[in-house]
Amino acid sequence: MYIQSEMHVAAVKREIEDGRMTPTKSIKMKTVNLDTFKIKHKGGKTNVAELVELKEHIDSVLGDIADSIRLFIDFHADSPVKVWDKLEKSEVVYTVGLNLEQFMKYESEAKEVYPGCFMSNNFPLAEKALKSFEEQGGDTKGFEDISFRDTAMWNITSKSRAKKFVSFLQKNYINPVIKERAKHFKIKEFIFTEEGIDFKYKK
């Protein structure tokens, strides 16, 4: 049943793209916060093309919500399960790693391998982040860039310098994205518990 419905959705999308079917404009949907939406039927008939477009929009919104909640859990300063900034010494260095693609989207050089699917490229982002750290007075003595495509990563010989670099990344790249997501979903307060995460919203 699921496969058949997805095949029908794909067929309708092709008809929309080819101009053989035009979606009606009878339904308006607005995201209020992570939990609430406003849906208004403006009247008239609703055709299958509009329903398919609405489904695509809902899928996109739900994906955005899931990504945002994961972001809050993994990177919010108050999250009890945040681990990216925990410095563990390996031999004689401290390793700091972060997927900067999540936080530097406007500077991203990710390559589109096929429509809607991108291959990460953290190499230039790692260089930009380190250069910015230096420009703001950061000491990069003992830093070694060992980045991968999917993760910007550095080996740092000094724990104090590693801590300062982690604070720099949190302040300059992570926190602004969290703030933007919180504003978008009208979040007033984050509530972290042993069971997970909850929110208080602005009215």
Tens digit of each residue's pLDDT (9 = 90 or more) over 146-158: 999 999 999 999 9
Q: Three-state secondary structure along 96-125?
A: EEECHHHCCHHHCCCEEEECCEEECCHHHH
Residue 107: the pLDDT is: 65
pLDDT of residue 90: 76
Q: What is the DSSP letter of 199?
A: E
For the chain, which residues score pLDDT lower than 50?
114
Task: Label residue 101 exposed, middle or buried (CB < 10 Å: 0-12, 13-18, 19+).
Answer: buried
- The answer to whether 186 touches 33, Cβ cutoff 8 Å, is yes
DSSP 8-state symbol, 41 = E
* Contact residues for 192 (Cβ-Cβ < 8 A; gap 6+): 76, 78, 79, 80
Nearest alpha-carbon partner for 175 in 117, 112, 106, 102: 102
